[in-house]
Amino acid sequence: MPVVNVQMFEGRSVEEKRKFVADVTRTICDSLGVAPESVRIMITDMPRENVAVGGVLNIDKAGK
Amino acid sequence: MPVVNVQMFEGRSVEEKRKFVADVTRTICDSLGVAPESVRIMITDMPRENVAVGGVLNIDKAGK
Amino acid sequence: MPVVNVQMFEGRSVEEKRKFVADVTRTICDSLGVAPESVRIMITDMPRENVAVGGVLNIDKAGK
Amino acid sequence: MPVVNVQMFEGRSVEEKRKFVADVTRTICDSLGVAPESVRIMITDMPRENVAVGGVLNIDKAGK
Amino acid sequence: MPVVNVQMFEGRSVEEKRKFVADVTRTICDSLGVAPESVRIMITDMPRENVAVGGVLNIDKAGK
Amino acid sequence: MPVVNVQMFEGRSVEEKRKFVADVTRTICDSLGVAPESVRIMITDMPRENVAVGGVLNIDKAGK
């Protein structure tokens, strides 16, 4: 623990994910005072057609 | 909030998802009295080989 | 299926949840063409100190 | 209930999943005293580039 | 991995959970050929007023 | 997006959570290049009797 599940838009490269998990793990360890080996991060790549805010799919949004 | 995670069988078209998130968001807003922008829906498309009820994978089921 | 996990702020009454699950189930059935018995809704009551947007806990927010 | 969400590394065959859900459902029924039809298992196949322990992606690990 | 999230009705004793995680972990190891230390089980105790099937809260159900 | 669900052992103070979400949000923004308002963190406080590694409940573990 902690176990961290992150839902992000699909399209990130392996290099971006590599940096992301290293950075977030370091921050969690500093913030909570836990050991790195205890931090587990699971990324879910979300297709933009599967995410909606305000009842509108992300693919139908202008901007962000 | 609310954040809504929906696991449904894969195979829905974008048009079906578009209607689904619009309909469900409207119902949530009416029912809970929240603003549409506060409602976030994330859809997970589940392969039928990854879902089991009663110890039987959905792909092995007759009917539904 | 579908299985619907809803994270909402704690504090809703049983009566509000009763109406919520009835309304949302009806909408899902109409929208996806599934039978009511196949719709499962799980509510997670989130304490306001456990939810953050923009790095700020909900309890520290002015307004919503 | 129970609803069981399992995140495992991708790459398992349908035959392995078939055995897995049968075995786990039987064990849950024996252990909790519930009926098989009440047990729902959802498998999420996780790409190795989406899982990290200790800040290191699984694809970058030697061994396990 | 695997990481197993189990939503079950609240009310199980520690002794029941102790047996449950031991039994399920053993079954998973046998079925998938993984080491016990790699199996992580997280239990979520669900209040009966937070679970609905067919649009009806569990607390409003007769039977099951 | 991203939506981040963190399961951690119960017992953290509000002050610890306040720092945690601020720190993690800042790191995510730096790492992924997203705006703070798009980052949502949901914390689940896990009782030690509800978490098991290797088939052993955390409350039954010596150490960690």
- For F7-53, the pLDDT digits (tens) are 999 999 999 999 999 999 999 999 999 999 999 999 999 999 999 99
Per-residue pLDDT for C45 more than 80? yes
Answer positive or negative: Cα dihedral of A43, D48, E17, D3.
positive
Query: Could you tell me if the ipTM is greater than 0.90?
Result: yes
The β-bridge relationship of strands B3-9 and B40-46 is: parallel
Cα E28 from Cα D41, distance rounded (Å)? 13
Residue in chain F nearest B4 by alpha carbon: F3
Q: Which residues does A contribute to its contact with E (CB < 8 Å)?
A: 3, 40, 42
Residue B63's pLDDT band (boundaries 50, 70, 90)?
low
For residues E47-63, one letter each, b for 16 or more C-beta atoms within 10 angstroms of the residue's C-beta and e for the rest, the string is bbbbbbbbbbbbeeeee
- Please give, rounded to a whole number of angstroms, the shortest distance from the CA of D41 to a CA of chain C: 11
pLDDT band at A64 (very low <50, low <70, confident <90, very high): very low
Shortest distance between the Cα of D42 and any Cα of chain C, in A, equals: 10
Q: Give A48's Cβ-side CA count (13 Å radius).
A: 9
**Residue C3 DSSP SS3:** strand
Average pLDDT score over residue span C39-52: 98
Q: Which chain A residues contact residue D55 at CB under 8 A? A: 21-22, 24-26, 36, 39
Arithmetic mean of pLDDT, C1-10: 97
Using CA coordinates, name the residue in chain D closest to C42. D3
Confidence of residue A4 (pLDDT cuts 50, 70, 90): very high
Residue found by looking up tokens 């392969």 in the block: B47
Task: Kindly list the catalytic residues of C.
Answer: 2
Provide the number of CB pairs (under 8 Å) joining chain C to chain F. Answer: 44
**Is residue E2 annotated as part of the catalytic site, yes or no?**
yes
In the block, tokens 């997280």 appear at E42
pLDDT tens digits, residue range B22-38? 999 999 999 999 999 99
Classify residue A10 by its DSSP letter. Answer: S
CB–CB contact E28 D24 (8 Å):
yes
Inter-chain CB proximity F56 and E14 less than 8 Å:
no
For residues D16-40, give the mean pLDDT: 97
Give the distance from CA C53 to its chain's centroid.
17
**pLDDT at F62 > cutoff 80:** no
Helix axes A14-32, F14-32, angle to 10 degrees: 160
pLDDT over 90 percentage in chain E = 94
> What is the CA angle A62-B2-B6, rounded to 5?
80
Q: pLDDT averaged over chain D?
A: 96
* Whole-number Å distance between alpha carbons of F54 and F64: 13
- Angle ∠(A41,A46,A52) on CA atoms, nearest 5: 125
Average pLDDT over residues D54-64: 86
Q: E64: pLDDT confidence band, cut at 50, 70 and 90?
A: very low
The pLDDT value recorded for residue F63 is 56
For C50, the closest of F22, F39, F42 (CB atoms) is: F42
Chain D environment of A14 (Cβ under 8 Å):
49, 57, 59
Higher-confidence residue of E55 and C62: namely: E55
pLDDT of A63 reads: 56
Three-class DSSP category at F19: helix
Higher-confidence position of D51 and D64: D51
Examine the pLDDT at F64 and tell me if it is beyond 50. no
Tokens describing residue F13: 């103070």
- pLDDT of B21 higher than 90: yes
Residue D33 tokens, joined: 């005293």
Q: Give the pLDDT of residue D64.
A: 46
pLDDT of B64 above 50: no
| CATH architecture type of domain C3-60 | 2-Layer Sandwich (3.30)
- Using a 10 angstrom Cβ sphere, with 0-12 exposed, 13-18 middle and 19 or more buried, the burial of residue A11 is exposed
Contact D63, E35 (CB under 8 A): no
pLDDT at position F33 is 96
The conformational region for residue C13 under phi > 0 = left, psi -120 to 50 = alpha, else beta, is: beta
Count of CB atoms situated within 10 Å of the CB of F35: 9
Contacts with F21 from chain C: Cβ below 8 Å = 52, 55-57
Q: What is the pLDDT of residue E63?
A: 56
Selecting from C3, C16, C27 the residue whose C-beta is nearest the C-beta of B23 gives C27
Q: Could you list the beta-strand ranges (E) of chain D.
A: 3-9, 40-46, 51-53, 56-57
Please report residues of B whose CB lies closer than 8 A to that of F40: 3, 40
- Burial (CB count <10 Å: 0-12, 13-18, 19+), residue F5: buried
Is the pLDDT score of A48 beyond 80? yes
Q: Alpha carbon of B61 to those of B57, E64, F59: distances in Å?
A: 7, 23, 40
